[in-house]
Amino acid sequence: MNLIDTHTHIYLKDFAEDHSLMINRAIENNISTMLLPNIDSDSISDLLKTVKEYPSLCFPMMGLHPCSVTDSYKSELSEIEKYLFSQEWIGVGEVGLDLYWDKTSFPAQEECFRIQIGWSKSLQLPLSIHSREATEEAIKIIEELQDGTLSGVFHCFSGTLEQAQRVINSGFYIGVGGVVTYKKTNLPEIILEIGPDHLVLETDAPYLSPVPFRGKRNEPSHLKFVALKLAEILSVTIDDIALITTQNALRLFKIKTSA
C-alpha cells in the first residue's frame, strides 16, 4: 500500500527539530511521495533545500499563496515567475483566493490567481488551488478560463455537493485531508455522492491534523487516518482507497515514481 500526500508544507520551521524523524515516520506509514506547494518568496529556499535532501520522495510546486498577496505582490509574482520558468516543478501552487483572513485584498488576489493560471497553461502544469471561504469565486474563475488545458486540485475542498460536481466537471480533482475526520463537516455526504475517482489525499501539514491528532501539529504520517476515514465512508478497504487516490495523483501530477 502506497499513499501520496499531494499537499504538505514539511519545509516549514514547525518541523525543524525533528525533520528527519518526521520523514522516517512518513516512510514507515507508507507515504511514497510528498508534493510540496510553495507559499511566497521567503519559503523558496527551505522548499528547495528539502527537495534536494529527499529528491525521490519530495516534489516541489511553485506559486504565490493568496494570503501572501500584499502591497508588494507584483515583486513577489516576479520572483515566483523567475523560479517557475527556470527549472522543473510538479505543479503551480499554492495559488488561489482567501476571503477568510482579508477580504480587502481580493482584487489583488484575483489578479495574482489569473496570472498564475496563465502560467499553468503555458507550462502545462496542474494547479493546487487554495479557496478558503472563496470556493464559489475560485470555481467561477476556473470555469471561465478552462479551455481544455487546465487541470489541478481544489486543495482542502470545503464547498457544497453542487460545487464539488462543478469542480469535477471542470476537469479538476478534490483534495481531502484531516477535515473529513471532523464532526462538523459535509465532506462524508459529498464523498458518498461523488465516489473516489476524483479524490486525492493531502495533509496540509503542519495544519489541519485529522482525528485523533486534531489540535496538534500535522505531518504526512497522519495521512493514513484520512485514508481510513474515506474507506469507512465508502465501505471499501484502505487498500482500495490507497490504490485509487494514488493513481489519481500520479495521473494528475504526472509523477515519475514506482508508487
**Digitized pLDDT (tens) for each residue of the chain, 259 residues in all:** 899 999 999 999 999 999 999 999 999 999 999 999 999 999 999 999 999 999 999 999 999 999 999 999 999 999 999 999 999 999 999 999 999 988 999 999 999 999 999 999 999 999 999 999 999 999 999 999 999 999 999 999 999 999 999 999 999 999 999 999 999 999 999 999 999 999 999 999 999 999 999 999 999 999 999 999 999 999 999 999 999 999 999 999 999 754 4
SS (H, E, C) 90-128: CEEEEEEEECCCCHHHHHHHHHHHHHHHHHHHHHCCCEE
What angle is formed at CA 190 by the lines to CA 200 and CA 243, rounded to 5 degrees? 30
What does the domain layout of the chain look like in residue ranges? 3-253
**Bridge partner residues of 96 (DSSP):** 130
User: In terms of CATH architecture, what is 3-253?
Assistant: Alpha-Beta Barrel (3.20)
Could you count the other beta carbons within 10 Å of the beta carbon of residue 207? 16
Which phi-psi region, left, alpha or beta, contains residue 154 (left: φ > 0; alpha: ψ -120 to 50)?
Answer: beta
> Quick one: pLDDT at residue 163?
98
The answer to whether 144 and 117 have CB atoms below 8 angstroms apart is no
Could you count the other beta carbons within 10 Å of the beta carbon of residue 210? 22
DSSP letter, residue 236: S
> Quick one: pLDDT at residue 101?
85
- Strand order in 91-98's β-sheet? 3-5, 31-36, 58-62, 91-98, 127-132, 152-154, 172-176, 199-201
Could you count the other beta carbons within 10 Å of the beta carbon of residue 167? 26
